[in-house]
């Protein structure tokens, strides 16, 4: 069987480090705040190349806290790509703003379009591929828009040698267990180079306070806990090795599947893709998924329904019927990828895909 994700195998590779880290948290009863959280925040900020890192409860909270801390007008509209997880758009609504959906390009990154009332852009580095940050930062500067990078799937990705998470006013990360850098539960973080914004976001995530009972405004309770910080601190030094493995597996797929009918992911020479997901397209998606499953090969679908087509947005009157994202959501299939796979595993996946399409020689 070729698993889509194998977190137990990852754990076994770092078992002694992880067991010691978890035992240390329990021995110290260091569950909320403390030195482990501070250490991870400092180390992750250094890894990304940002001045500040604010640990929060999850990636969705990270987006909402960042949005609410930017000081946008109450009636602001925020541009969100139509192909993303609902967390990106629901954070906008929960922060009190209005979602405007943007189509995506054929590499699944955001397609920019200005509209009346737009005050901010959330660009999603989807599947681990950085967006065109020169284009996006120029667009935001031209129209005086705030910029948030959603880096939930892109830990360690680079645009022209610079890590994502350093281009916008703020950037958000998820440490959901299945991410390239995942905790053992929910967790998230916000990075920024803005001192004042970092202070406000940290206060927002901790009841609006600067001291134990000194609350300057109403905030919320969204904190990265000590146990998850310890887990992430063990994993962070291994991340580059894991990303290299993902790139090796992706290279096998790109080479071996080049002559099949599959539409393969775009690769840009000026960007470091970190392959959180390896997403192909075919109008025979469901057939192929079932065929691979019959051989013990797990696959996924990200995402089967484009955001504007969800029942949650039935109230939205924006015409997105011609969006690339809305026309191709039934064709997307995610192949297994991760540090748990060997190149021979990837070759077997390719062999079965070629067999499905009748391309095996």
Domain boundaries, the chain: 7-235, 238-356
Residue 102 near residue 113 (C-beta atoms within 8 A): yes
Report pLDDT digits (tens) over 110-145.
Answer: 999 999 999 999 999 999 999 999 999 999 999 999
What's residue 361's pLDDT?
Answer: 46
Phi-psi region of 34 (alpha: psi -120 to 50; beta: other; left: phi over 0): left
Q: How far apart are CA 40 and CA 141, in angstroms?
A: 32
CATH number of 238-356: 3.90.1150.10
CA distances from 204 to 42, 56, 359 (A): 19, 10, 56
pLDDT of residue 212: 85
Architecture of the domain delimited by 7-235 = 3-Layer(aba) Sandwich (3.40)
Q: Is pLDDT at 179 greater than 60 in this prediction? A: yes
Token code pair at residue 337: 């990828």
Q: Give CA angle at 203 (92, 230), nearest 5°.
A: 95
Q: Is-contact 320 252, C-beta < 8 A?
A: no
pLDDT at 199: 97
Q: What is the mean pLDDT of the chain?
A: 97
- Cβ neighbours of 240 (radius 10 Å): 11
Sequence-separated (6 or more) residues with CB below 8 Å from residue 355: none
pLDDT the model gives residue 349: 98
What is the rounded average pLDDT of the residues 187-212? Answer: 96
């Amino acid at each position: 069987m070729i698993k889509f994700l194998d977190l137990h195998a990852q754990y076994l590779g770092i078992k002694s480090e992880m067991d010691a880290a978890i035992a240390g948290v329990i021995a110290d009863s260091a569950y909320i705040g403390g030195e482990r959280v501070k250490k991870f925040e400092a180390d992750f900020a250094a890894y990304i190349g940002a001045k500040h890192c604010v640990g929060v409860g999850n990636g969705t909270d990270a987006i909402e806290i960042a949005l609410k801390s930017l000081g946008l007008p109450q009636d602001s509209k925020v541009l969100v790509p139509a192909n993303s997880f609902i967390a990106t758009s629901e954070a906008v609504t929960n922060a009190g703003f209005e979602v405007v959906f943007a189509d995506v390009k054929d590499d699944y990154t955001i397609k920019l379009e200005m509209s009346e009332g737009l005050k901010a852009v959330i660009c999603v580095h989807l599947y681990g591929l950085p967006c065109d940050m020169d284009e996006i930062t120029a667009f935001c500067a031209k129209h005086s828009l705030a910029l948030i990078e959603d880096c939930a799937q892109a830990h360690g990705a680079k645009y022209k040698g610079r890590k994502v998470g350093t281009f916008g006013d703020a950037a958000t990360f998820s440490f959901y267990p299945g991410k390239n850098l995942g905790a053992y539960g929910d967790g998230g973080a916000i990075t920024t180079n803005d001192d004042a914004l970092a202070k406000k976001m940290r206060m927002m995530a901790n009841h609006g306070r600067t001291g134990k009972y000194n609350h300057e405004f109403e905030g919320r309770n969204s904190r990265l806990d000590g146990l998850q910080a310890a887990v992430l601190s063990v994993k962070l030094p291994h991340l580059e090795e894991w990303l290299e493995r993902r790139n090796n597996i992706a290279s096998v797929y790109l080479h071996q599947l080049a002559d099949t009918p599959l539409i393969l992911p775009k690769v840009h020479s000026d960007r470091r893709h970190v392959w959180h997901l390896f997403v192909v397209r075919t109008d025979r998606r469901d057939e192929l998924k079932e065929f691979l499953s019959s051989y013990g090969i797990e696959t996924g679908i990200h995402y089967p329904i484009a955001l504007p087509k969800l029942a949650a947005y039935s109230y939205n009157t924006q015409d997105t019927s011609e969006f690339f994202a809305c026309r191709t959501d039934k064709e997307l299939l995610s192949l297994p990828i991760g540090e748990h796979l060997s190149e021979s595993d990837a070759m077997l996946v390719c062999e079965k895909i070629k067999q499905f399409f009748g391309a095996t020689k």
